[in-house]
Amino acid sequence: MYTVVLVDDEPIVREGMAYIIDWKKEGFQIIDSVDNGVSGLDVIEEKKPDLVITDIRMPGLNGLEMVEAAKKRQLHSKFIVLSGYSDFEYAQKSVSLGALHYLLKPIDDVQLTEILRKIKSQIEEEQTRKTERTHVEKYLFANQLFSYIMYREKAFDLSLLNQYQTFRLMKISSSETRVDLQVLLDFEKTLIGEKHFYTYTDGRTILLLICNEEQHQFERVVRRFSEVESVQLKISSVTEKSEELPVLYDEIRGLDNLSYIFPNEQILLSSLLKKKAAYPLSVNQLLTKLKKAIKDNNKKQIESVLDECVAFFQHSNKSVEEVKRDWSYIFIECVEFLEESMHKPVKEIEKDKILSIIWKESSIDQTAHFLKFTFYDFGRFFYEAFEKQDIVEEIKRHTRKNYHLNLNLKELAQHFNYSQSYLGKKFKADMKVSYHDYLDTIRLNKAKQFLEEGSLYVYEIAKMVGYSNYDYFHKKFKKQFGVSPKGYQKDQQEEVE
């Protein structure tokens, strides 16, 4: 609602003005009415209404004099001037003083309504321009401010920040490929308030400078951000000195490094940058444990040592580059250990591929997860070389025990920690038959046994031996034995009789 003050020495006019139109409908509200120009000027200065409707002829200070005095005091209300006299000089004078309209009494409600709508549109347009101008000014100021914070641009005038007592930097980033930056900005405004809030974005992240922050405000930000999925918040310490703003940015950059080391932490605080006590084990000690786990082909121990590696890096003050360099060192040492033990070199292209992945991974957890399976393979190489395991016999035993399950080479590869292709070729080379055909033989022979007992339906037997599709079972059985399952069961029953 836009506010209105009425100034007229005639009570009947003031009262009539309040009722001749629907002020609320037109977006206005009468907040006061007075009977002379002196009082009118005081009310305008005190309440700063959007619109003043004033008579010209009043005792003490007439309407035009009141308008002129208000302009001199830089009061920016709009004015509509009323008069009972059709006098061009009055109209000319009111326009020169900036009054929007000059109306003759008695007032025509239709005409006044049209004028109010025009004034409303003008006020809205002016407010829009003012808002845009404010945004542009704040944008330009923010650009200069962040140039100083990020690049220590000396052209920035630090005295512009003297109005603030405290400063804190925050950085918002998202794990999603696209993040709605405006939503995040609006979210921050609701928590902090736009008055002490400056932002900079490169399109992927948002950097915020919060001035005059209060403790409860900080706690609200931390609490609310813990509820926003896929968003990570990095928070600097607080300083009272504007010249230390670049130092806060250094803290944010340090926390950027920690995003790799603490990928699951939604909120990273500057306290994480403080020097930590030494981890009880060194990289070389962890490496010794890892080599033993690989040689023993102990998957659980391999996982345990890699978890210790993650804890070691999180406990250290190493940069992302230093951590990835250590991961690379661990991998290369394990490769050399494998090569010396197997007396067979690993292809350089394979080593380069794995090293490339180590350097590309975006979190320490991803790196550990990837290396876990790499070292599983190393352990299997040791097992195959030194334990002389007959994998085909293991597959046969596993099949005879679990023929009723949904067995296939893919499942066997996962179970025995071999490649699917290797198992398929190895099995066929040793058995002279594919694994699929071998499995069918086991199942169909079991089906014969159940059919000979005669206590179960044929479809029940099909499911019991691992065939969910009865027609497929029927076809396979007849092809193998030259008779249908029902025919075979009937023949067995007749022989018994």
- For residues 31 and 45, membership in a common domain is answered with yes
- For residues 465 and 451, membership in a common domain is answered with yes
Domain assignment present for 131: no
Q: Which of 273, 292, 309 is the last residue of a domain?
A: 273
The DSSP letter of residue 230 is T
- For residues 162 and 269, membership in a common domain is answered with yes
Long-range contacts formed by 245-253: CB under 8 A, 24+ apart: 245/148, 245/149, 245/167, 245/169, 245/209, 246/148, 246/149, 246/150, 246/152, 248/149, 248/167, 248/168, 248/169, 249/149, 249/150, 249/169, 251/169, 252/169, 252/171, 252/207
Domain assignment present for 242: yes
- For residues 90 and 111, membership in a common domain is answered with yes
- For residues 336 and 419, membership in a common domain is answered with no
- For residues 240 and 219, membership in a common domain is answered with yes
- For residues 355 and 419, membership in a common domain is answered with no
Long-range contacts formed by 453-456: CB under 8 A, 24+ apart: 454/489, 454/492, 454/493, 454/496
Q: Which of 108, 126, 144 is the last residue of a domain?
A: 126
- Provide the pLDDT confidence category of residue 435 given band limits of 50, 70 and 90: very high
For 256-287, how does the pLDDT look when each residue is reduced to its tens digit (9 = 90+)? 888 888 888 888 888 877 766 678 889 999 99
Q: Before 49, cis peptide (omega within 30)?
A: no
Domain encompassing residue 69: 2-126
Domain assignment present for 138: no
- For residues 73 and 119, membership in a common domain is answered with yes
Contacts of residue 253, Cβ cutoff 8 Å, sequence gap at least 6:
none
Contact yes or no for 88/114 (Cβ under 8 A) = no
Structure tokens at 376: 């599983």
Contact yes or no for 213/248 (Cβ under 8 A) = no
Contacts of residue 90, Cβ cutoff 8 Å, sequence gap at least 6:
56, 64, 81, 83, 102
Domain assignment present for 483: yes
Specify the CATH number for the domain of residue 260. 3.30.70.270
Contact yes or no for 134/122 (Cβ under 8 A) = no
**CA 139, 141, 142, 147: dihedral to nearest 10 degrees?**
130
Q: Which of 107, 126, 145 is the last residue of a domain?
A: 126
Q: Is the backbone of residue 74 left (phi > 0), alpha (psi -120 to 50) or beta?
A: left
- For residues 358 and 252, membership in a common domain is answered with no
The percentage of residues in the chain with a pLDDT greater than 70, rounded to a whole number, is 89
- For residues 65 and 35, membership in a common domain is answered with yes
Domain assignment present for 373: yes
- For residues 96 and 166, membership in a common domain is answered with no
Contacts of residue 349, Cβ cutoff 8 Å, sequence gap at least 6:
none
Whether the model clears a pTM of 0.85, i.e. scores above it, the answer is no
Q: How far apart are the first and last CA of the chain?
A: 102
Tell me which residue of 372, 349, 356 sits closest to 294, measured CA to CA: 372
Report in angstroms the alpha-carbon separations of 347 from 222, 339, 341, 350: 49, 10, 15, 5
CA distance 271 to 172: 18
Domain assignment present for 151: no
Please, what is the average pLDDT of the chain? 85
Domain assignment present for 133: no
CA distance 235 to 258: 12
Does residue 53 surpass a pLDDT of 70? yes
Domain assignment present for 418: yes
- For residues 380 and 460, membership in a common domain is answered with no
For 215-264, how does the pLDDT look when each residue is reduced to its tens digit (9 = 90+)? 776 777 777 766 767 778 899 999 999 889 999 999 998 888 888 888 88
User: What is the number of domains present in the chain?
Assistant: 4
Hey, CA dihedral for 160, 163, 164, 165, is it positive or negative? positive
- Provide the pLDDT confidence category of residue 177 given band limits of 50, 70 and 90: very low
CA distance 339 to 378: 10
Q: What share of the chain is helix, strand, coil (3-state, %, to 5)?
A: 60, 10, 25
Specify the CATH number for the domain of residue 25. 3.40.50.2300
Report the range of poorest mean pLDDT among 241-250, 378-387, 484-493: 378-387
For 313-362, how does the pLDDT look when each residue is reduced to its tens digit (9 = 90+)? 988 878 889 999 999 999 999 999 988 877 778 889 999 999 999 999 98
